[in-house]
Chain A
Amino acid sequence: MDPPSLMPRLPEMCRFPMLGMPPPELVPRVGRIGGDASVEESTVTEQCGGSKGRRRRRDPPSSGGATEDESSKFVSTSSGNELAEAEAKRLKAIKSTDGNDNIKSEAEASSGICNKLAAQNPQTTEPPKQDYIHVRARRGQATDSHSLSERARREKISERMKILQDLVPGCNKVIGKASVLDEIINYIQALQHQVEFLSMKLEAVNSPMNTTIEVFPSKDFSSQRYDTTSSLAYSSQTREYEQGSGTEWLHMQVGGAFERVT
């Protein structure tokens, strides 16, 4: 039940970089229950960072069993990665899903879990000290601000992507950052092509204003213009077609007044 709902959340948490922590610093912190929230939250994220690459391995064993059993099993196998993921998943299970970005509540939950684990398996923390330090490590302020700033940065980026999605027509239907970026790139290219095309049109229309031949080209242009506006803003084929036919029409009419330099 938990793993499938929690899996999509894990990447979000497990992107934090893993920083090594000196061993003696961490053990005394484990017992602290309501201590530094900021310190405790670093534990989870740090271990998550460490276990990022090894998440997949965790899935089959985690499908069954209570969380305590999982934790004890992973503790006994002395792999900090799995315990990290177990802790992360327990965090998600305890917290409600909406407040996921609230690090404080994560920290409290993690502190509760860590203390439970510490109570149950005090001896197992000692031997795999290198791994479990990441598991139960209380992150220092450095990691704290690092992951915090990275999370803030990612939120800013997603917020701006939403603004861009609103700007570009037809981007709401696409899901996924890459496709949205593709659409944005296409849209900008199309807009730039349209500026070029319109500048050619403007030039072609403005010059015969000095002469008397302005009615015929304008009629043709107006029909073509409606084609441009009605079709998708970035369908370059129709635009190029109109571009070519419009200038050729003028060639016919004015008779060589425009020299098309290719």
Chain B
Amino acid sequence: MESKSSDENCNNPNSELHPSKLIMASHFLRALFRIQHTTTDSSFAGRSRKIRRAAYASMAYSVGTKRAWSSALLRKLRSRSRLRFPNPRRAKYAALPGRPRVARPQQREMDQAEALRELVPGGTSMDDCRLLEETADYIRCLSTQVRLMQAIMESVSF
């Protein structure tokens, strides 16, 4: 895996191990062009959904199958493109109904671990140790993707 480009602030040697911004940029831009040329007459929300899905897809595609979260994300995206489900992600963020929030530290930690599992793709089938590792990689890639999209915005609009 290539390290981050030098213009990024690398404050941690551990954060070097993820796909470079250029690889993610190439995938994402290619997907953006594809969206722009093929779906010219769809609605605003539909196109933004497509772009968002393209962002996650390019992110996962750049990482490949080296990580559990990227494989799970790719699987989910491919199955979703076939089934055409609306995104149920927002519902997951809410607390589970019918489960009283106990203030005990163990219960709180378990709640947090479950919340983390729902956030990170593929996290439901991981133990805590692996979950933390995948979370770290996912955060790295997500932040890289966000920075990439901001850079695209910057370059497109001026």
Contacts and interface: CB of A to CB of B under 8 A. Distances in A.
B48 interface: yes
B153 A167 contact: no
A178 interface: yes
A115 B47 CA distance: 76
B83 interface: no
Interface residues of B, number: 50
B135 A188 contact: yes
Contacts, number: 138
A166 B132 CA distance: 13
B132 A164 contact: yes
Given A161-B132, A188-B142, A203-B48, A261 B157 contact: no
Main secondary structure of the interface of A (DSSP, over half): helix
A200 interface: yes
A225 B153 contact: yes
Interface of A: 153, 156-157, 160-161, 163-164, 166-168, 177-178, 181-182, 184-185, 187-189, 191-192, 194-196, 198-207, 209, 214, 217-218, 221-222, 225, 228-229, 247, 258-262
Given A163-B132, A191-B143, A205-B153, 10 more contacts: A160-B132, A161-B132, A164-B136, A181-B116, A185-B119, A188-B138, A195-B146, A201-B153, A203-B44, A203-B51
Interface of B: 11-12, 14-15, 32, 36, 43-49, 51-52, 54-56, 89, 93, 105, 108-109, 112-113, 115-116, 119-120, 128-129, 132-133, 135-136, 138-140, 142-143, 145-146, 149-150, 152-154, 156-158
